[in-house]
Amino acid sequence: MPKKWRQHLERWMTRQMELPQDVTMDLARITMVGHIHIYIENHKGLLAFSDKEIRILLKHNQLIIRGEDLVIKAILPEEIIVEGKIDQVLYIDQ
């Protein structure tokens, strides 16, 4: 099935079944609490990390988290929890 048709079908199913798009379209869900905690669900892997920058691979994009004293509190196959002083969250379209 062509990609365009698949995306159209996914959107239609999402509307008809009233499901969240992150579930049906395999999108990342990002939850941030203040500037000290960020929780990323449905990631595809960790690309790079330091105490100042963390790069996370998403399905089609990258998420860059910048700040100070960043630590990865938990990393699971589909979830990452980062804590520290978060200054910037960038979504890089590839």
* pLDDT score at 71: 97
The pLDDT of residue 54: 97
Query: Which DSSP letter does residue 51 get?
Result: S
| pLDDT value for 37 | 96
| Joined tokens for residue 6 | 């698949």
How much is the pTM?
0.74
Tokens of 15: 């509307």
Phi and psi, residue 91, nearest 5° = -110, 110
Q: What domains lie within the chain, and their CATH numbers?
A: 27-93 (2.60.40.2000)
Q: Encode burial over 37-66: b for 16+ CB neighbours within 10 A, e otherwise.
A: ebbbebbbeeeebeeeebbbbbeeebbebb
Instruction: Copy the structure tokens of residue 34.
Output: 């203040």
pLDDT at 17: 67
Each residue's pLDDT tens digit in the chain (94 positions)? Answer: 676 787 777 777 666 666 555 555 567 889 999 999 999 999 999 999 999 999 999 988 999 999 999 999 999 988 999 999 999 999 998 7
Q: Point out which residues pair with 85 in neighbouring strands.
A: 68
